Amino acid sequence: MLTRRTLLVASAAALAAPRIGHAADLTGVTADEIKIGNIMPYSGPASAYGVIGKLQQVFFKAINDAGGFQGRRLNFVTYDDGYSPPKTVEQTRRLVEQDKVSFLFNTLGTPTNSAIHRYVNQRKVPHLFLSTGADKWGDPQNFPWTIGWQPSYRTEAQIYTKYMLEQDRNAKLALLYQNDDFGKDYVAGVRDVLGSRFDAVVKTVSHEVTDATIDSQIVQLHGTGSTALLTATTPKFAAQTIRKVHDIGWRPAMHFLTNVSISVAAVMNPAGPEKGVGIITSAYLKDPTDPAWNDDAGMKEWRDWMKAHMPEADQSDGNYVFSYGVSKTMMRVLTQCNGDFSRENIMKQATSLSGLEVPSLINGIKVNTSSTNYHPIRQMQLAKWDGKTFDRFGGLIEGANV
């Protein structure tokens, strides 16, 4: 049994001992390197997005070739997951446990990021600026190490539904969605606006990302007599939808298309640009095919960069514009770190962006984050495809009043 004297001596010794603070996590950071992890679908059904990762490889290499960042080389390690969640898990473990990256940046896809969401948060690895607009990436209370970048799919769907009702209060909506968290966010957004009227107004049909085509789903939706169509799927299936809708003679009064599948090079041209005339989407990025941006300073910066570093790339592909913008955002975070590249401070700076202007964002749209705001971009503008480009109309919209 400890005596009172023994306890007093032990307490005094403890008070006299130096306090050992929690060491900052500098995994992936050395005196001459910061290691960045990334996963992209360079193959598989969503391979059209692979150019995002290709630009980022060149982007960080260009920084290194120019002398690096604050004396350090940015080692960008990127792997292919084929848009397959099990493969994403495998590649993420490889990046975190073997390559020991400092943080994950712009990993692509809703189902794929969903597969690693909990793992990276348990490991306290910054999971930054995901290449997916799923609404759930803005949940700092439960997943403080994950933050999105682009606008929420759910908010986007709210905007489309609100606009549809403004044009035709009695409209009937056909909704094609990918059967995962990506597609289901659009169903939720439409339901937010319609509430109890949802079942009377909307007919839904889903598809799997492994499906060869969505032709049968389009025929089924056509048979519902719907006057409007919302297509919430990835580029391959978006192009198929545009072609099939046109070829069967379906002419919905309004056809809304998710803004992650509006690349002229990857969707509109392969579908047949004349077949998508009238399609409505929402834009937050500057469209490289829109002549309105010909003299824009931000787009001039992007074009000059592309000409210098990726001259063979198809500049009508908006995925390059997206990739450049999110990469510039990442560099702002590293700059704000002010030399402290611990995981904790990188995450702190990623959630401390105020009024950041990014060259590729529509003028007036800025990046804002905080410890309670994990949705960096909240504004969008509606746009309509005219056969050559998406013509923007109306003002900036921040969500919907539901």
Q: What is the DSSP letter of 49?
A: G
Summarised one tens digit per residue, pLDDT across range 28-52 is 999 999 999 999 999 999 999 999 9
Summarised one tens digit per residue, pLDDT across range 346-371 is 999 999 999 999 999 999 999 999 99
Q: Provide the percentage of residues in the chain whose pLDDT is more than 90.
A: 92
Residue 373's pLDDT band (boundaries 50, 70, 90)? very high
Q: Which of 90, 106, 135 lies closest to 37 in space, CA to CA?
A: 106
- Between 11-15, 165-169, 216-220, the lowest mean confidence (pLDDT) is in 11-15
What's the rounded Cα separation, in Å, for the pair 249 and 48? Answer: 27
Task: Calculate the CA dihedral of residues 364, 365, 370, 373 and round it to 10 degrees.
Answer: 130
What's the rounded Cα separation, in Å, for the pair 374 and 121? Answer: 14
Q: What average pLDDT does the segment 154-167 reach?
A: 95
Q: What average pLDDT does the segment 388-395 reach?
A: 95
Task: Please tell me the predicted confidence (pLDDT) of residue 23.
Answer: 75
Task: Please tell me the predicted confidence (pLDDT) of residue 351.
Answer: 98
Q: Is the pLDDT of residue 146 over 70?
A: yes
Q: Is the pLDDT of residue 323 over 90?
A: yes
Angle at 61 between CA 59 and CA 67, to 5 degrees: 115
Q: Is the pLDDT of residue 16 over 70?
A: no
Q: How many CB atoms lie within 10 A of CB 83?
A: 25
Summarised one tens digit per residue, pLDDT across range 63-103 is 999 999 999 999 999 999 999 999 999 999 999 999 999 99
Task: Please tell me the predicted confidence (pLDDT) of residue 307.
Answer: 98
Q: Provide the percentage of residues in the chain whose pLDDT is more than 70.
A: 94
Q: How far apart are the first and last CA of the chain?
A: 67
Residues in Cβ contact with 275 at an 8 Å cutoff, skipping those fewer than 6 apart: 242, 243, 245, 246, 247
Q: Is the pLDDT of residue 20 over 80?
A: no
Mean of pLDDT over the chain = 93
Summarised one tens digit per residue, pLDDT across range 328-351 is 999 999 999 999 999 999 999 999
Residue 22's pLDDT band (boundaries 50, 70, 90)? low
State pTM to two decimals: 0.86
Q: What CATH superfamily classification does 29-151+295-371 receive?
A: Response regulator (3.40.50.2300)
Summarised one tens digit per residue, pLDDT across range 236-276 is 999 999 999 999 999 999 999 999 999 999 999 999 999 99
Task: Please tell me the predicted confidence (pLDDT) of residue 17.
Answer: 37
CA 303, 261, 383, 355 torsion-angle sign: negative
Cα separations (Å) of 42 from 46, 61, 296, 342? Answer: 8, 19, 31, 30
Each domain of the chain, given as residue ranges in start order, spans 29-151+295-371, 153-283+382-398
Q: What CATH superfamily classification does 153-283+382-398 receive?
A: Response regulator (3.40.50.2300)
- Fold equal for 29-151+295-371 and 153-283+382-398: yes
